[in-house]
Structure 1
């Protein structure tokens, strides 16, 4: 353990790697960190990625450095677990992504001209990724879309893949018609399993509508969540001003307070 490096405030990436190695040291490390595996850390990795997305959405730039550090630490943690198992280390991770970026940008690092549109570059990028998937024997159009992605994000990625080969509604109105159809099927479903299936179908088409409208469905739902928290907080505050809590109220009163909070927001906007 390099104590001098670990306590060097300017130690940068080597310092972080040394700290992670110390946390996983079999003799002197942290018991909690030593117990972790790829599987137990994965949920934290996803959570940290969403926290980065949240501060960017809120433009909370004073928080971004810390959240990016938290996300970087997740990569370092996974790499240390891999190193402990003799699989690879953080330097292998960094070299792998560097190699990938060089290979996927021949117009920057190779002989190809970069005098092309962003749209053409996107098509070239997808062609390179398709070749990489083929090298991994992933020959299907939908192969390689990570199962661990949030469901709405994965739905959009699957739909984008299918759209590239022509499997897509050409008009947004057709997607909306399909939403109406799926909502009717959900209403007609009688048993729990059928309802769950039809609800999933409806959500999938909603993701498709977001794609057609150029909306990130995850970001839109996060914004809706925040709006709900904000407006319900206003309901609670209005009740508290009368010496009441939500459980002391009823739906009619809370609904009226909700409408008032909504009206105030719209007037300010």
Structure 2
């Protein structure tokens, strides 16, 4: 705990009105928020790369973000770091009655239902008039937020019963994208693409696939194959700009054939 205490003291010094860092003193919750998101993604990136030394460092950077926000909140008389820690401790106790309160769940489904009930009670306490979709964070990546919105709606029965109608809806939305393109209406194209992506997220949910993870895999695959193209062209003393699309496609197919 001594290092936690030291970290809190360092952050307080950085925010000291007379002796602190000018940059840190200029910040507020809104200006720090993008850094908080960035650090969270860097934690996820270190995990994906299985670089655990880097993960240790990135977790420290993320912890600094928590401390930064808590320090600003303390200065404003809102809450402090101890309140943050107390809040998450209380939440862990509420959401794990089978560990801390003697409750018995016989199946994963029972545990999951109790977890969701606890979360729903917490949302109702924070926002008594909130609807089913209340509290799904706006700052989430759009695909992830789409799946969470769909999950919430599904809990009250607003969901397709199986995969077939989802696939039909996918065809319908793709046709509407084509229609908007044919009309040359850029706003309509953007709207229809949004609908198409939303249905894609729904398809992933029905297939029990995380849409964000699926897209990350697609991104990584594209990077690997494009790197193969660049390496092959470099070995041949050529550049991508000097090649025809057919030549680039042939190299892409070669990358696929090698399992990249």
Same fold (TM over 0.5): yes
Where do 1:220-239 residues align within 5 Å? 220-239=214-233
- Structure number with the bigger relative contact order (C-alpha 8 A, sep ≥ 6) is 2
User: Which position in structure 2 is the counterpart of 1:5?
Assistant: none
User: Which position in structure 1 is the counterpart of 2:114?
Assistant: 124
C-alpha distance in structure 2 between counterparts of 1:59 and 1:83, whole Å? 36
Q: Quick check: 1:145–1:154 contact (8 Å CA) kept in 2?
A: yes
SS in 2 for 1:265: coil
Q: How far is the alpha carbon of 1:11 from its aligned partner?
A: 4.0
The more displaced of 54-63 and 238-247 is 54-63
User: Which position in structure 2 is the counterpart of 1:141?
Assistant: 132
Gaps of 5+ in 2: none
User: Which position in structure 1 is the counterpart of 2:170?
Assistant: 179
Where do 1:83-232 residues align within 5 Å? 83-113=74-104, 115-135=105-125, 136-189=127-180, 190=183, 191-232=185-226
Provide TM-score, normalisation by structure 1. Answer: 0.89
Q: Could you list the per-position Cα deviations for residues 138-191 of structure 1 after superposition, in whole angstroms to 9, with x for gaps in the alignment?
A: 441111111121111111111111111111111112211111110000110131
* 1:251 maps onto 2:239 in alignment: no
C-alpha distance in structure 1 between counterparts of 2:242 and 2:19, whole Å? 53
User: Which position in structure 2 is the counterpart of 1:50?
Assistant: 41
Gaps of 5+ in 1: 1-9
Q: Quick check: 1:235–1:258 contact (8 Å CA) kept in 2?
A: yes
C-alpha distance in structure 2 between counterparts of 1:168 and 1:59, whole Å? 36
Q: 2:57 aligns with which of 41, 49, 66?
A: 66
Aligned length: 256
Q: How far is the alpha carbon of 1:209 from its aligned partner?
A: 0.7
SS in 1 for 2:165: helix
